[in-house]
């Protein structure tokens, strides 16, 4: 049986995704992304084919972002804390290019 990495959602990112992702395909892609992120095998091999999980450059904190879908531009921000994942934010496709401004605007979430 596959080992599962715990995901914590202190900021209601999953609820926010249900409200903000109006297309059912995006909602389904969001849950597929969460399923890939909780799969410990992906973390062990560092291979994330759907979400393309990678570290955000230009910030001191270890913040990672994952694609909901590559084409839509929607991103999930998360951090590793004590071996588990903590969801921090859901970033709109229109804002994903200005990532440092988005992170600085919600600085309290990322510390």
Domain range list for the chain: 7-106
**Residue 65 is encoded by which pair of tokens?**
């972002």
pLDDT, position 10: 94
Mean pLDDT across 19-39: 94
pLDDT, position 67: 93
Please identify, in words, the CATH class of the domain defined by 7-106: alpha beta
The structure's pTM equals 0.89
**Sheet with 7-8, side-by-side order of all strands:** 7-8, 84-91, 75-81, 64-67, 54-55
pLDDT class of 9 with cuts at 50, 70, 90: very high
């Amino acid at each position: 049986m596959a080992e599962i990495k715990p995901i914590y959602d202190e900021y209601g990112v999953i609820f926010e995704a249900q409200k903000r992702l109006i297309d059912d395909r995006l909602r389904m892609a969001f849950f597929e992304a969460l399923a890939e992120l909780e799969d410990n095998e992906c973390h062990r091999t560092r291979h994330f084919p759907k979400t393309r999980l990678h570290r955000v450059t230009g910030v001191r904190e270890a913040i990672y972002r994952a694609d909901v879908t590559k084409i839509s531009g929607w991103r999930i921000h998360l951090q590793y804390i004590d071996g588990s994942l903590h969801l921090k934010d859901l970033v709109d496709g229109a804002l994903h290019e200005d990532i440092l401004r988005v992170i600085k605007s919600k600085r309290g979430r990322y510390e």
